[in-house]
Amino acid sequence: MMKDAANTALLTVRNLRTYFHTFSGTVRAVDGVSFEIGQGEVMGLVGESGGGKSVVGFSILGLIDSPGKIEGGEILLEGRDLVTAGEDHLRHVRGREISMVFQDPMTSLNPLHTVGRQMDEVLRLHSDLRADARHKACVDMLESVGISRAAERLKAYPHQFSGGMRQRVVIAIAMLANPKLIIADEPTTALDVTIQSQILKLMRAQIADKGASMILITHDLAVVSEMADHITVLYCGNVVERGATRDLIETPAHPYTRGLIDSIPDTSERLDRLSQIPGSVPDIRNLPQGCNFRDRCPRAQALCAQKEPPLTPQHNGLMAACHFPLHPGERL
Amino acid sequence: MFGYLIKRLIQMLLVLWVVSVIVFLMMSFTGDPVFMVVPIDATDAEIAQARRLLGLDQSLLVQYWKFLTSLLQGDFGRSYVFRQPAMTLILERMPATVEMVLVAMALAVVVAIPLGVYAGANPNSRLSRIIMASSLLGISLPGFWVGMVLIYLFAVHWGVFPSSGRGDTAEIFGLRVSLLTRDGWHHIALPAITLSLGTMAILLRMTRAGMMEVSRQDYMKFARAKGATRRDVLYKHGLKNALIPVVTIFGLQLGDLIAFATITETIFSWPGMGKLLIDSIYRADRPVIVVYLMLVALIFVVINFLVDIVYTLIDPRITLK
């Protein structure tokens, strides 16, 4: 459900531009992205691989490494800009205000430190608790993500856990300091299908429990439609459409969103061919003039090659960047 | 663990036996030691007498058998030249070498690890380029040249360090150690620096390569996302993961320096065992050479064993089998 519109935003991203300056040219991975997340909201950030989703996540935490750089825009956390904030301030934001869950639990934990030590590190950094209180907090947290015999498991190393268990540990670490916002970067992509829904349920429960907000970065519209209050669709570093989850899934205005939705296999009907979006993401180093999606778009016309469509209001409160948007009920 | 120890022990005995055979064979081609011990004007009878005394009149096989049987009784043979037990000769000189090598290795680690971490974490900075260029010099400059330059600058030109000898020693647990006296440190400085440069450069480059590899790992970014300081991310999360190859090289270098610090010891007239080896080779003093090389093999086997144990301390996924 979309929360009250008057709700003041927890995080406001305005015109964020993150570029990577490589030998073969400048990659405009994120090029003018804006969105807002209210307190307690879940936002889905959706797009194909290479669409700049993860870069948005890392930009928010100030974890863009050379040759990447945030070139402009604002990232306001409760009104305070993180782009211009210094490393010291960002360190207090990371883990305490905003934490992150990575895609692959097999590689996001340090293989040489016990799970307990990696959890304890968060509390040592972000709380004044004494050692025994920290230990208790870690045990409680580990139990609340569904790991039994938690006190014992704290002494174990990551390689003694399965992939799903490790992702539970990662979630436990992310939730430990009661952050206001969790950025989950494809948190279930690397897991078995049977584990995926468990992890998603766990994350939803944790967030609801703590009243935290979440950015769920994924390419999987099925996942996001179950979890998110509203969705932002990225294509080539730009927002092409955003809106409340239900409206965006049922009546998308942008042909790209429609294509993504049609690519979800429908198990109720047997098809000879899976639906797909023709072509692939263009070379982001030298994007053509006009709409970035036009080469793959069945509705493209002469205008699309000349002018980049701005994000404009559509039906049902959706915003879409398209010269020839779809109307409700219209198919590609 | 017990099975591992047994396996290691058998391996060690095998290595020692092979070394003894090879050295025995090699030495039989390197000239007749008799002429090293008899006077220049010795008569044929005197030479034959000396040969009989040294047991050199018998076939190589018999000589080897005698060496092996007395070895098992704890007798490692006597030097032809010094007329003393070979083992005693070596052990007398060992503390001097070992202490110089330990100082050199400590120096190498203290300098190489922080610089390597820095260069690995900031591969494009100007300082990193300077560090890496210097490390190339450290690898390519020969020890004898560095030693002579150091002597010229610090001993001859500025006169701040002595150019040769071991200086005062103090006795502890029956060993003569120069690390307990001011004068001893004064004397050990130049040879230890000379000895450390090569190892320092190699360890630095290994650390850098490891850190560059590790920096790309997700858990490094995850540690930063937790809010850890840059220093903690590099040293607590990164370095430990980069350390396995560094420890391997450290072990090999340690053994190598203890066994073959010959050149540095010669330049600085350091009374260590490397100099004994060179002198013994000149004089075809086979008993000393055989025992020396077997001891070196033993040192390498023990160091490798310790390195294996250190692996398990660093990485919980490694077990001794």
Model confidence over A140-197: pLDDT tens digits? 999 999 899 999 999 999 999 999 999 999 999 999 999 999 999 999 888 888 888 8
User: Which 3 state secondary structure label does DSSP give A41?
Assistant: coil
* Interchain CB distance below 8 Å, B228 and A99: no
Confidence of residue B181 (pLDDT cuts 50, 70, 90): confident
Mutate to test the interface with A, among B125, B226, B234, B239 (most CBs of A within 10 A): B226
Same domain, B67 and B130: no
User: Within a domain: residue B8?
Assistant: no
Residues of A in contact with B236 (CB under 8 A): 113
User: Within a domain: residue B162?
Assistant: yes
Mutate to test the interface with B, among A108, A114, A123, A171 (most CBs of B within 10 A): A108
pLDDT digit string, tens, across residues B131-176: 999 999 999 999 889 999 999 999 999 989 998 888 888 777 777 8
What was the pLDDT predicted at A267? 65
A positions 156-175 inside 8 Å of B (CB): 157, 159, 170, 173
Same domain, B145 and B66: no
Domain of residue B209, CATH code:
1.10.3720.10
What was the pLDDT predicted at B211? 96
pLDDT digit string, tens, across residues B53-108: 888 888 888 888 888 888 888 888 888 888 899 999 999 999 999 999 999 999 99
Answer yes or no: is pLDDT of B252 > 90.
yes
Report CA-CA distances (Å) from B25 to A181, B28, B74, B295: 74, 5, 22, 18
Percent of chain A whose predicted confidence (pLDDT) is above 90: 64
- ipTM score: 0.89
What was the pLDDT predicted at B168? 81
User: Within a domain: residue B3?
Assistant: no
- In this complex, the residue of A87, A111, A122 whose CB is nearest that of residue B226 is A122
Query: Across all residues in chain A, what is the average pLDDT?
Result: 90
What was the pLDDT predicted at A66? 83
Residues of A in contact with B223 (CB under 8 A): 110, 121
DSSP designation for B82: T
Signed CA dihedral, B231, B234, B235, B236: sign only: positive
Same domain, B98 and B33: no
* Interchain CB distance below 8 Å, A94 and B225: yes
Same domain, B164 and B228: yes
User: Residue B147 belongs to what domain range?
Assistant: 92-314
Question: Is some CB atom of chain A closer than 8 A to the CB atom of B140?
Answer: no
Confidence of residue A1 (pLDDT cuts 50, 70, 90): very low
Question: Is some CB atom of chain A closer than 8 A to the CB atom of B313?
Answer: no
What was the pLDDT predicted at B56? 81
**pLDDT average, residue stretch A264-278:** 73
Confidence of residue A282 (pLDDT cuts 50, 70, 90): confident
Residue of chain A whose alpha carbon sits nearest to that of B314: A112
* Interchain CB distance below 8 Å, B218 and A104: yes
Residue of chain B whose alpha carbon sits nearest to that of A185: B222
Residues of B in contact with A58 (CB under 8 A): 221
Residue of chain B whose alpha carbon sits nearest to that of A155: B316
User: Within a domain: residue B78?
Assistant: no
Please state whether beta strands B170-172 and A80-81 pair in parallel, antiparallel, or not at all (unpaired): unpaired
* Interchain CB distance below 8 Å, B316 and A93: no
What was the pLDDT predicted at A271? 64
pLDDT digit string, tens, across residues A37-56: 999 999 999 988 777 889 99
Same domain, B181 and B107: yes
User: Within a domain: residue B150?
Assistant: yes
- In this complex, the residue of A91, A121, A159 whose CB is nearest that of residue B317 is A159
What was the pLDDT predicted at A6? 42
Question: Is some CB atom of chain A closer than 8 A to the CB atom of B225?
Answer: yes
- In this complex, the residue of B124, B222, B314 whose CB is nearest that of residue A102 is B222
Same domain, B96 and B67: no
Same domain, B230 and B154: yes
How many domains, chain B?
A: 2
Q: At what angle do helices B182-215 and B126-140 cross, to 10 degrees?
A: 120
CB A192 within 8 A of CB A226: no
Residue of chain A whose alpha carbon sits nearest to that of B242: A112
What was the pLDDT predicted at A287? 76
What was the pLDDT predicted at A8? 73
pLDDT higher for B33 or A68?
A68
Which range among A27-36, A261-270, B260-269 shows the weakest confidence by mean pLDDT?
Answer: A261-270
CA angle centred on A42, ends A38 and A43, rounded to 5°: 90
- In this complex, the residue of B219, B315, B316 whose CB is nearest that of residue A109 is B219
Domain boundary residue, one of B28, B44, B72:
B72
- In this complex, the residue of B124, B227, B241 whose CB is nearest that of residue A112 is B241
pLDDT digit string, tens, across residues B262-302: 999 999 999 999 989 998 888 888 889 989 999 999 999 99
Question: Is some CB atom of chain B closer than 8 A to the CB atom of A235?
Answer: no
Question: Is some CB atom of chain A closer than 8 A to the CB atom of B125?
Answer: no
CA distance B203 to chain A (A): 21
Same domain, B60 and B164: no
User: Within a domain: residue B238?
Assistant: yes
Same domain, B110 and B239: yes
Question: Is some CB atom of chain B closer than 8 A to the CB atom of A323?
Answer: no
Question: Is some CB atom of chain B closer than 8 A to the CB atom of A108?
Answer: yes
Same domain, B68 and B193: no
Question: Is some CB atom of chain A closer than 8 A to the CB atom of B227?
Answer: yes
Answer yes or no: is pLDDT of A3 > 50.
no
- Domain A10-228 grouped into CATH 3.40.50.300: yes
User: Within a domain: residue B83?
Assistant: no
Question: Is some CB atom of chain B closer than 8 A to the CB atom of A92?
Answer: yes
Question: Which residues, other chains included, contact A91 with Cβ-Cβ below 8 Å and sequence gap of 6+?
Answer: B227, B228, B229
Q: According to the per-residue pLDDT averaged within each range, which of A56-60, A303-307, B47-51, B121-125 is highest? A: A56-60
* Interchain CB distance below 8 Å, A63 and B223: no
CB atoms within 10 A of CB A167: 30
- In this complex, the residue of B223, B229, B230 whose CB is nearest that of residue A110 is B223
- CA dist A327 and B15 (Å) reads 82
Question: Is some CB atom of chain A closer than 8 A to the CB atom of B312?
Answer: no
**pLDDT average, residue stretch A292-298:** 90
Question: Is some CB atom of chain A closer than 8 A to the CB atom of B217?
Answer: yes
Answer yes or no: is pLDDT of A284 > 60.
yes
User: Within a domain: residue B77?
Assistant: no
pLDDT higher for A64 or B29?
A64
Q: How many interchain CB pairs under 8 A, A with B?
A: 72
What was the pLDDT predicted at A4? 45
Same domain, B102 and B46: no
What was the pLDDT predicted at A2? 44
For the stretch B99-103, contacts whose Cβ atoms lie closer than 8 Å and that sit 24 or more positions apart, written own/partner, are B99/B177, B99/B178, B99/B179, B99/B188, B100/B188, B100/B191, B100/B192, B100/B195, B100/B261, B100/B264, B100/B265, B100/B270, B100/B272, B101/B195, B101/B254, B101/B257, B101/B258, B101/B261, B103/B179, B103/B188, B103/B192, B103/B196
Query: Helix H segments across B73-217?
Result: 86-121, 126-140, 143-150, 182-215
- In this complex, the residue of B124, B218, B316 whose CB is nearest that of residue A102 is B218
Same domain, B259 and B193: yes
Of B290, B128, B261, B277, which Cα lies nearest the Cα of B195?
Answer: B261
- CA dist B145 and B163 (Å) reads 14
Residue of chain A whose alpha carbon sits nearest to that of B236: A113
